[in-house]
């Protein structure tokens, strides 16, 4: 499903939803959840995305689980998992916005005004090449950074 198709989806109000075409999430049986469910897994640093999926398959005893996107082994973050038939819907998640939080250390701390001025230079369309050791193919691609902000700073 493309982003354009996603934007053109019709949202049906729950008051007019026909039960013959599905079940509300809070009324689904365990069997339905395991066949058509999504899990938003907080992957810890260490294992690869593939290892995390393999462990989940083994724990839940489900033969078919897929993941949307890939997280490098050394990072933690949300790894969306599709169970059974839900694997077909995972591609939609790749088109949505993402949010990243990072911790950095600077040699000296500039003024907040100067720091924000530098952050502004990194917003907009940028070129990105994944690092040497990365879980994805290393090719230069464009990405759009909509917002960068300093959430917290700590003096040394």
Per-residue pLDDT tens for 76-105?
889 999 999 999 989 888 877 778 888 888
CA dist., res. 7 & res. 53, Å (int) = 29
Whether residue 125 sits in one domain with residue 53: no
Whether residue 88 sits in one domain with residue 11: yes
Out of 15, 26, 31, 72, the active site residue is: 72
Whether residue 12 sits in one domain with residue 79: yes
Query: 12: burial class by Cβ within 10 Å (0-12, 13-18, 19+)?
Result: exposed
Whether residue 42 sits in one domain with residue 110: no
Whether residue 50 sits in one domain with residue 87: yes
Whether residue 142 sits in one domain with residue 69: no
Beta bridge partners of 34: none
User: Could you confirm whether 19 is annotated as catalytic?
Assistant: no
Q: Which of 52, 73, 94 is the last residue of a domain?
A: 94
Domain extent for 126: 99-156
CB contact at 8 A, 87 and 62: no
Whether residue 112 sits in one domain with residue 63: no
Number of domains forming the structure of the chain: 2
Whether residue 60 sits in one domain with residue 124: no
Per-residue pLDDT tens for 68-78?
988 888 888 89
pLDDT at 4: 67
Whether residue 71 sits in one domain with residue 10: yes
Whether residue 88 sits in one domain with residue 103: no
pLDDT at 84: 94
| Domain containing residue 21: CATH number | 3.30.2350.10
């Amino acid at each position: 499903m493309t982003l354009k198709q996603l934007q053109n989806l019709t949202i049906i109000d729950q008051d007019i939803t026909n039960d013959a075409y599905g079940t509300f999430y809070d009324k689904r049986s365990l069997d339905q959840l395991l066949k058509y469910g999504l899990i938003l897994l907080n992957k810890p640093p260490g294992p690869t995305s593939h290892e995390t999926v393999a462990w989940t398959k083994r724990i839940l005893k489900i033969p078919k689980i897929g993941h949307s996107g890939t997280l490098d082994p050394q990072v933690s973050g949300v790894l969306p998992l599709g169970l059974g038939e839900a694997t077909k819907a995972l591609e939609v998640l790749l088109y949505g916005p993402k949010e990243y939080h990072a911790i950095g250390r600077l040699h000296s701390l500039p003024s907040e005004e100067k720091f924000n001025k530098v952050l502004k230079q990194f917003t907009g369309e940028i070129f990105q090449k994944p690092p040497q050791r990365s879980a994805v193919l290393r090719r230069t691609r464009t990405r759009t950074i909509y917002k960068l902000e300093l959430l917290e700073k700590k003096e040394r």
